[in-house]
Structure 1
Amino acid sequence: MTRKTVRIAMNGVTGRMGYRQHLVRSILALREQGGLDLGDGTVLWPEPVLLGRREHALREIAERHGLDRVSTDVDAVLADPSVDIYFDAQVTSAREEALTKAIAAGKHVYTEKPTATGLDGALALARLAHDKGVKHGVVQDKIFLPGLRKLKRLVDGGFFGRILSVRGEFGYWVFEGDWQPAQRPSWNYRAEDGGGIVLDMFPHWDYVLHELFGRVTSVQALAATHIPQRWDENGKPYDATADDAAYGVFELEGGAVAQINSSWAVRVHRDELVEFQVDGTEGSAVAGLRGCRVQHRGATPKPVWNPDVPATEVFRDQWQEVPDNAEFDNGFKAQWELFLKHVYADAPYHWDLLAGARGVQLAELGLKSSAEGRRIDVPEISL
C-alpha cells in the first residue's frame, strides 16, 4: 500500500457543525480507520490545516486531537502548494469570498451550504470552478442519513406506485438566550449576517426533494419571525431580523406536491427532529433521521370518522419498520469519502457547486414568494 498525504484547509472548525461532524466524525474518523483506501493500492491520509479567526480556539482543538497546523491567515494557507483542498464551514456571509479565493488559487473545494447568500454569487462560484478545472462539492448530508437512504430504497424499488405527496416536519424550540442559552449561534437570527431558516433549510429541501422525488418546479412559501427578540452569546438582547420559521409548498416534476414546515419556534411531538411522510397509490412511508416505517396498500386499515366515540385504533402500530439491510456510516463521513475519491480517483460525483446553486435559488425564490404572497416558478439553471 502507498500512503498519500492529503492536506485539507478546514475553515470554520470552531463552530459546532464544522468541529463535530466534519473534523471529528469525518476527517479524524478517517485517520482512526487508517486512512481512505482508494482500491488501487493507494491509501489517502488526511492532514487537516485548521483555519479560523480565533487562534487560541484553533490551538486548543489542535492540542486536543494531536494536530500541528493552525492558521488565521487564509491567504497564506491558500498560497501553500502542499494544501490540496479547501473546506468551508464558516458563517454564510463569509463563505462566498473565501470560496472564490480558494478556487482562484487552484484548490479543490468542498463546502457547507448555502454556498452564497444569493443565486448570482452561487452561480458565479460554480462557473469559476468549472473554468478553473478544479473539483468541487457541496455538503448534502441528509440524503446520506439512514432513514432517507431507506426511503430512497423504497422509491427506487417502486414501493409507492405513483407518488402523490410528500409532507415534511422539521424543527425544535431554540431558546431565546435570556433564561437558557440558545442552541444555535445568534447570527442565525440576523438577516444582515446571512441568517434565517429559509436560507438555512431550503437548500436542504431542494436536494432532498430533487434526489428522491424530482426537481422542484414551483414554490409558495410563508416566512415568519415568531420570536422578535433574542439574547446573544454575551447575554445582550438583539432584534431578530431573520425568519425563524417557514411554511412551504413545492410542486415537483412529475406532479407530486411537497409541503414542508421548518421552524426554530416549535416544540417537538414527533419521533425525530425531522420526519417525512410520503404517500403513493400503492403505499406510504414515514422516515426520520434513522428509522423508516411503511404501510402498503394491501395492509391499509379502513378507519371511519366518528367524533362521538373514542378512537380504539393505535394508528402507529399499524405500520411496519423497514429493516436496515446494510451498515450505515456517519452521513457526513460517507460524503467526505465520496468527495475524496472524486478528487483523487476521478470517481463520479454530482453534488457540486451547481447543485449548491440550485439550493440557493430555492431559498431566494422562497423568500420572494413570501414577500410577494404568490407562487413562483423555479426555472432550471445551468452553467
Structure 2
Amino acid sequence: MTRKTVRIAMNGVTGRMGYRQHLVRSILAIREEGGIDLGDGSVLWPEPVLVGRREQALKAIAERHGLDSWTTDLDAVLADESIDVYFDSQVTSAREEALKKAIAAGKHLYTEKPTATGLDGALELARSAQAAGVKHGVVQDKLFLPGLLKLKRLIDGGFFGRILSVRGEFGYWVFEGDWQEAQRPSWNYRAEDGGGIVVDMFPHWEYVLHGLFGRVRTVQAHAATHIPQRWDERRKPYDATADDSAYGIFELEGGIVAQINSSWAVRVNRDELVEFQVDGTEGSAVAGLRRCRVQHRSATPKPVWNPDLPATETFRDQWQEVPDNEEFDNGFKSQWELFLRHVATGAPYDWDLLAGARGVQLAELGLRSSTEGRRFDVPELSL
C-alpha cells in the first residue's frame, strides 16, 4: 500500500488528557495498527510534532515513544509548510489565540473544547476557519463511548417510543490537595484561568443531548463552589474562584426534559462515573461509560409506596443488560480517525467549530442563568 503522511502539530501533550488520550491512545495507537486504511490502496500515516512550553517534558515524552519532532516554538511550527493539522489541548485560556494563528497559517484544525472563553470568540473562530477553507473539528468524545453507542442503537431502533426525559449524573470527589494530591490541575478551580465545571462540562452535555435527543432549546442552571479553598501542585493553599458543581435543567426539541448534575464534590454511589437514565413511553435505559441496561414496558414492575415495610425488591436486578454486539475502540481514537479521513479524503464530518460554539454558548448561558436566577432560551447558531 502507498503511505500518505499527515503531519500533526500537537500542542498540549504534556497535559494529562493531551498525553494519555490524544497522543498515546489515539495517534500512537493508530501508528501501532499500521495507519488508517483509506480504502483506495493507500494508508494515512499520522506523524506527530509535539508542541508545548516545557522543553524537558516534551523531550522526555519524545524519547519515551521514539519520536523525533518536538518544539517549544509554536510560531515556527505553524510556519512550517509540511505541517498539515494543528491540534490544541492546552488550557482553555490559551486556546483561542493559538487557533487564530493556526487558521491564519492555513492549517486544518482539531481541538479540545471549549474552543474559546466566550461565544463571540467561538463563533469568530468558526467563521474564520470557514472563510479560510480549512477543515476543522472539535473533540466530542463522549458520543463514542460504548455505553452511549448502545444508547444510540436503542434510540435508532425505536426502543423508547416517545422519549420523555433524560437524567444525568456526573462527577466524583476531587481531593482538595492538602492531605491527598488532587486528581485535577489547580487551574480548573480558578475562574481567571478558565476553570469551572460549567465551562468544562456544559459543552459536553450540549453535544451529548444534541447528538442523541435533539437541540437544546432552554437552560436553567445553578452553579456552586462547594469547596472554597484548595491546595495547588506545590501544596500551597489558594482560593477556589470557579464553580465545582452545577445543576442544570435543559428543555430539548420535542419537549424532552433533561436534568444533569455535574460535580467534583460528590462521592460516587453509582456504577460508573457518568450515567444517563432515559425514560420513554415504551421503555427506559441507563447508560454509562461502557454499560447500558434497559427495562421494557412489558417487563416493568408495579412498585407500591409503603414506607412502613422494607423493600423486598432489588430494583437493579429487574433491568436487562444491552449486549455489545460489536467491538468498541477508544472513543478519542475513533474520532481522530474520522477527522483525519475528513482531512485526507473530504469524508463527511459533523463535529466542527460551529458545534464547538454551541457548547460555549450553553456554558455561557448556564453561568448567566445561575447568576441571574433565570431560565434562558438557547438561540440556534449559524455562520
Global fold match (TM > 0.5): yes
1:78 equivalent to 2:73? Answer: no
1:264 equivalent to 2:231? Answer: no
| Per-residue deviation, 1:99 | 0.4
For 2:382, give the aligned amino acid.
S
| Per-residue deviation, 1:5 | 1.1
| Per-residue deviation, 1:56 | 0.3
Matches of 1:40 and 1:127, distance apart in 2:
32
1:152 equivalent to 2:157? Answer: no
User: What is aligned with 2:283?
Assistant: 283
Task: Tell me the TM-score normalized by structure 2.
Answer: 1.00
User: What is aligned with 1:312?
Assistant: 312
| Per-residue deviation, 1:6 | 1.0
Matches of 2:39 and 2:16, distance apart in 1:
33
1:238 equivalent to 2:241? Answer: no
For 1:347, give the aligned amino acid.
A
| Per-residue deviation, 1:106 | 0.2
User: What is aligned with 1:10?
Assistant: 10
Matches of 1:357 and 1:38, distance apart in 2:
30
Per the alignment, in what secondary structure is the counterpart of residue 83 of structure 1? coil
1:334 equivalent to 2:326? Answer: no
Any idea what the Cα deviations from partners look like across 1:148-176, whole Å, max 9, x if unmatched? Answer: 00000101111000000000000000000
Task: Tell me the TM-score normalized by structure 1.
Answer: 1.00
CA RMSD of aligned residues (A): 0.4
1:201 equivalent to 2:189? Answer: no
User: What is aligned with 2:102?
Assistant: 102
Any idea what the Cα deviations from partners look like across 1:217-260, whole Å, max 9, x if unmatched? Answer: 00000000000000000111000000000000000011000000
Any idea what the Cα deviations from partners look like across 1:14-58, whole Å, max 9, x if unmatched? Answer: 000000000000000000001111111110111100000001000
1:164 equivalent to 2:142? Answer: no
Per the alignment, in what secondary structure is the counterpart of residue 174 of structure 1? coil
Alignment of 1:118-133 (within 5 A): 118-133=118-133
For 1:190, give the aligned amino acid.
R
Identity %: 86
Matches of 1:151 and 1:103, distance apart in 2:
36
Matches of 2:70 and 2:256, distance apart in 1:
48
For 1:47, give the aligned amino acid.
E
For 1:89, give the aligned amino acid.
S
Number of residue pairs the alignment of both structures matches: 383
User: What is aligned with 2:349?
Assistant: 349
Structure 1 stretch 166-175 or stretch 38-47: which is displaced more? 38-47
Per the alignment, in what secondary structure is the counterpart of residue 254 of structure 1? helix
Per the alignment, in what secondary structure is the counterpart of residue 358 of structure 2? helix
Matches of 2:236 and 2:7, distance apart in 1:
39
For 1:333, give the aligned amino acid.
K
Matches of 1:55 and 1:194, distance apart in 2:
24
Alignment of 1:157-236 (within 5 A): 157-236=157-236
Per the alignment, in what secondary structure is the counterpart of residue 39 of structure 2? coil
Where does the alignment leave 5 or more consecutive residues of structure 1 unmatched?
A: none
Any idea what the Cα deviations from partners look like across 1:166-215, whole Å, max 9, x if unmatched? Answer: 00000000000000000000000000000000000000000000000000
Matches of 1:197 and 1:375, distance apart in 2:
19
For 1:359, give the aligned amino acid.
G
Matches of 2:164 and 2:329, distance apart in 1:
31
Any idea what the Cα deviations from partners look like across 1:315-341, whole Å, max 9, x if unmatched? Answer: 000000000011100000000000000
Per the alignment, in what secondary structure is the counterpart of residue 34 of structure 2? coil
Matches of 1:40 and 1:234, distance apart in 2:
53
